[in-house]
């Protein structure tokens, strides 16, 4: 019975708030638009990063190292060194590319076959191809691995083949931070918009609030419809942001596919995933509710029946 | 039901609205509070409804001392009191039904119960069938009766009315007062602030006369309830 009364009160407050929003369609639409845009912007940035990451997915993790041994270091020694390197916990894989094998590959792919025949001996050294473990691809990890190989007397040069991958990952990290900043700023914006909208509504309904308090309405009762209004603003704004994101993906889909094709890829743009949508709606609802709550705390207390 | 013990009320602006006022109103009584404007009638009603707290002395309503009641208990306290205003304070954008239902809604009554009680209250004030109308579509007298229906709908043990006939002509005034008397006849305590001497004489109920914030005496049907006035 008690629970039923509770549910009834909440249902009444929710329906009342819905009805009120519906009676002012223009004002409601404008507020929703502002909230929707504020939510869509950081979500779109996040989506961009996710797509950039998956578009370069294979490459993004292909950090590897070529360790060139001094000319004249025999293959047996190279095998031995490879065995030692495999013991390190930050090394996933070490492949020995023998000088002969390297020359054969070069002959095959370079088209210099005839010219190479003129050489008296194989100018290529034995090479160790090293793939670090996936969790050890940070700049500091790679540097310590490079030093490890460079310290060996048999080693001529250590070449980090994929520095651009590191740069790319660093750019993504910067962008991710930017998304965070945008999300915080625009979230504060949503709070302010909802808070101000609720403040105006509280002032508009001053007489009603006074009478309600006079006949014994508790603060919670008076506050409830405003909290639901804020929550609905957040929900509506999140839904609008979703529509904006999907529309943007739709508009971009064709040109992105064309671009991917030019790179010989079949990559297709991904829309917002389940977790992204969850964050969008969860964040929208939470911000709307919180903005309304802050505003109600500030303004409802001052309204007492005279 | 209502007990004022040596109550004084000074407003923040320094004006002393009541000075050392003591009286007692028993359960089921109907009492008129009279005096000129500014005599302190409204202040007495505000102290009863806990819109204000006394500066000195104690006000006890329904067994509760208003001076020490915690803020979170005020809503429940107010639900025990039906209030009627001179300007009726109806919500202009809500139909009659919603206005009358408000005290039940804030108390969390089940919907079926709300429907039943609102109709009963409107029936008592003779407005059954006008539930869907807006207050502006009613006459002044009808609006005041809607205000009374709202005050009685949750069957409070105490009704207070501040100049409920202030805007009404003599016939309508008498009608509204008789309506209030009917509630006192069935055991509800009724306290009415008015300056309409004609009505006070007509209804022949106990009268407490205020002047400049002090009790000047008892009118018509004087009873020995007044303890002292200074």
pLDDT number for residue B223: 44
Cβ contact, residue pair A216, B106, below 8 Å: yes
Distance CA(A18)–CA(A224), nearest Å, equals: 13
Cβ contact, residue pair A216, B103, below 8 Å: yes
Q: Which of B183, B43, B191 is nearest to B125 (CA)?
A: B183
Q: Which of B44, B52, B62 is nearest to A214 (CA)?
A: B52
Task: Extract the residue ranges of chain B whose pLDDT is less than 50.
Answer: 221-230
CA A88 to chain centre: 32
Q: Please check the confidence at residue A2 and state whether its pLDDT lies above 90.
A: no
Please write the tens of the pLDDT for every residue from A125-165.
888 888 888 777 777 788 888 888 888 888 888 887 666 77
A214 closest CB neighbour out of B83, B105, B109: B83
- The stretches of A205-269 forming alpha helices (DSSP H) are 206-214, 219-262
Delimit the domains of chain A by residue range: 2-58+166-302, 64-161
**Would you say the C-alpha torsion B90, B95, B98, B100 has a positive or negative sign?**
positive
Residue of A nearest to B113 (CA): A5
Q: Is B101 on the interface with A (CB under 8 A)?
A: no
Residue of A nearest to B93 (CA): A208
B111 closest CB neighbour out of A8, A208, A304: A8
Residue of A nearest to B91 (CA): A208
For B175-203, letters b (16+ CB in 10 Å) and e give: bbbebbeebbeeebbbbbbbbbeebbeeb
Q: Are A245 and A47 in contact (CB under 8 A)?
A: yes
Q: Is B97 on the interface with A (CB under 8 A)?
A: no
ipTM field: 0.84
pLDDT number for residue B228: 38
pLDDT number for residue B226: 44
Average confidence (pLDDT) over A272-296: 93
| Residues in chain B within 8 Å Cβ distance of A208 | 91
| Residues in chain B within 8 Å Cβ distance of A217 | 75, 102, 106
Q: What percentage of chain A exceeds 70 in pLDDT?
A: 96
| Pairing mode of beta strands B30-34, B189-193 | parallel
> Worst-scoring range by mean pLDDT, A63-77, A205-219, B132-146?
A63-77
Distance CA(A269)–CA(A254), nearest Å, equals: 9
> Worst-scoring range by mean pLDDT, A109-113, A292-296, B51-55?
A109-113
Distance CA(B124)–CA(B107), nearest Å, equals: 21
Cβ contact, residue pair B79, A6, below 8 Å: no
| Residues in chain A within 8 Å Cβ distance of B72 | 218
CA B143 to chain centre: 16
Residue of B nearest to A10 (CA): B108
Say how many C-beta atoms besides its own lie within 10 A of residue A291's C-beta: 28
State how far residue A226 is from chain B, nearest Cα, in angstroms. 15
Q: What percentage of chain A exceeds 90 in pLDDT?
A: 33
Please write the tens of the pLDDT for every residue from A33-49.
999 999 999 999 888 88
| Pairing mode of beta strands A65-69, B30-34 | unpaired
State how far residue A230 is from chain B, nearest Cα, in angstroms. 21
Distance CA(A36)–CA(A38), nearest Å, equals: 5
> Worst-scoring range by mean pLDDT, A195-209, A238-252, A274-288, B200-214?
B200-214
Residue of A nearest to B85 (CA): A211
State how far residue A219 is from chain B, nearest Cα, in angstroms. 8
| Residues in chain A within 8 Å Cβ distance of B108 | 5-6, 8-9
Degrees, nearest 5: CA angle A75-A81-A85: 140
Interface test with B, best of A13, A214, A219 (most B CBs within 10 A): A214
Residue of A nearest to B103 (CA): A215
> Worst-scoring range by mean pLDDT, A62-66, A70-74, B112-116?
A62-66
Q: Is B111 on the interface with A (CB under 8 A)?
A: yes
Question: In whole numbers, what is the pLDDT of chain A averaged over residues?
Answer: 86
Residue B188 makes CB contacts below 8 A (sequence gap 6+) with B28, B152, B156, B157, B158, B159
Give the CA distances from residue A202 to residues A209, A223, A297, A301, B80, in Å, rounded to whole numbers and listed in that order. Answer: 8, 9, 11, 11, 26
Q: Are B77 and B157 in contact (CB under 8 A)?
A: no
Say how many C-beta atoms besides its own lie within 10 A of residue B34's C-beta: 22
Q: Are A9 and A224 in contact (CB under 8 A)?
A: yes
Q: A62 or B88, which is more confident?
A: B88
Which range has highest mean pLDDT (A108-122, A259-273, B16-30)?
Answer: B16-30
pLDDT band at A251 (very low <50, low <70, confident <90, very high): very high
Which range has highest mean pLDDT (A260-274, A280-294, B2-16)?
Answer: A280-294
pLDDT number for residue A59: 58
Q: Are B186 and B179 in contact (CB under 8 A)?
A: no
| Residues in chain B within 8 Å Cβ distance of A306 | 51
Average confidence (pLDDT) over A219-243: 94
Q: Is B110 on the interface with A (CB under 8 A)?
A: yes
Indicate the CATH number for domain A64-161: 3.30.70.3040
State how far residue A214 is from chain B, nearest Cα, in angstroms. 7
Q: Are B179 and B127 in contact (CB under 8 A)?
A: no
Q: Please check the confidence at residue A58 and state whether its pLDDT lies above 60.
A: no
Q: Please, which residues 127-156 of chain B have a Cβ atom closer than 8 Å to chain A? A: 150
State how far residue B134 is from chain A, nearest Cα, in angstroms. 15
| Residues in chain B within 8 Å Cβ distance of A12 | 105
Cβ contact, residue pair B106, A12, below 8 Å: no
Residue of B nearest to A4 (CA): B110
Chain A positions with Cβ closer than 8 Å to B: 4-6, 8-9, 12, 207-208, 210-219, 221, 304-306
How many CB contacts within 8 angstroms connect chain A with chain B? 53
């Amino acid at each position: 019975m008690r629970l039923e009364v509770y549910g009834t009160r909440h249902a009444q407050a929710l329906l009342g708030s819905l009805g009120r929003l519906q009676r002012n369609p223009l004002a409601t639409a404008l507020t929703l638009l502002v909230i929707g845009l504020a939510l869509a912007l950081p979500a779109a940035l996040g989506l961009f990063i996710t797509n950039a990451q998956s578009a370069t997915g294979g490459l993004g993790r292909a950090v590897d190292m070529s360790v060139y041994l001094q000319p004249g270091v025999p293959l047996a020694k190279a095998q031995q060194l490879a065995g030692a390197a495999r013991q390190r916990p930050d090394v996933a894989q070490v492949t020995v590319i023998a000088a002969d094998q390297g020359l054969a590959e070069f002959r095959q792919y370079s088209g210099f076959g005839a010219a190479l025949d003129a050489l008296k001996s194989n100018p290529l050294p034995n090479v160790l191809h090293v793939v670090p473990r996936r969790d050890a691809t940070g700049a500091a990890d790679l540097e310590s691995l490079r030093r490890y190989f460079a310290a060996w007397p048999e080693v001529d040069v250590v070449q980090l083949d994929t520095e651009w991958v590191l740069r790319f990952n660093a750019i993504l990290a910067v962008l991710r931070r930017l998304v965070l900043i945008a999300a915080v700023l625009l979230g504060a914006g949503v709070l302010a918009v909802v808070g101000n909208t609720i403040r105006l509504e509280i002032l508009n309904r001053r007489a009603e609030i006074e009478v309600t308090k006079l006949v014994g309405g508790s603060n919670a009762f008076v506050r409830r419809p405003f909290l639901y209004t804020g929550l609905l603003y957040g929900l509506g704004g999140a839904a609008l942001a979703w529509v904006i994101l999907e529309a943007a993906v739709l508009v971009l889909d064709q040109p992105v596919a064309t671009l991917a094709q030019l790179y010989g890829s079949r990559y297709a743009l991904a829309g917002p995933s389940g977790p992204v949508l969850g964050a969008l709606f969860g964040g929208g609802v939470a911000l709307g509710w919180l903005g309304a709550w802050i505003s109600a705390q500030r303004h409802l207390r001052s309204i007492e029946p005279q | 039901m209502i007990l004022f013990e040596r109550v004084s009320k000074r407003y923040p602006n320094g004006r002393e609205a009541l000075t050392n006022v003591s009286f007692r109103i028993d359960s089921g009584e109907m009492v008129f509070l009279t005096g000129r404007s500014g005599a302190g009638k409204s202040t007495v009603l505000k102290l009863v409804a806990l819109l204000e707290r006394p500066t000195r002395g104690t006000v006890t309503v329904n067994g509760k001392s208003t001076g020490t009641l915690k803020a979170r208990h005020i809503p429940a306290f107010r639900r025990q009191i039906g209030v009627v205003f001179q300007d009726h304070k109806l919500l202009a954008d809500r139909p009659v039904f919603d206005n009358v239902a408000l005290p039940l809604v804030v108390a969390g009554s089940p919907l079926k119960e709300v429907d039943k009680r609102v109709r009963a209250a409107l029936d008592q004030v003779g407005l059954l069938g006008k539930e869907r109308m807006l207050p502006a579509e009613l006459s002044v007298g009808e609006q005041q009766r809607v205000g009374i229906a709202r005050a009685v709908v949750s069957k409070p043990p105490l009704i207070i009315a501040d100049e409920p006939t202030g805007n009404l002509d003599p016939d309508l005034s008498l009608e509204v007062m008789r309506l209030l008397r009917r509630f006192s006849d069935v055991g509800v305590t009724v306290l009415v602030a008015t300056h309409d001497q004609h009505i006070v004489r007509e209804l022949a109920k106990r009268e407490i006369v205020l002047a400049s914030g002090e009790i000047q005496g008892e009118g018509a049907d004087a009873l020995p309830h007044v303890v002292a006035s200074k």
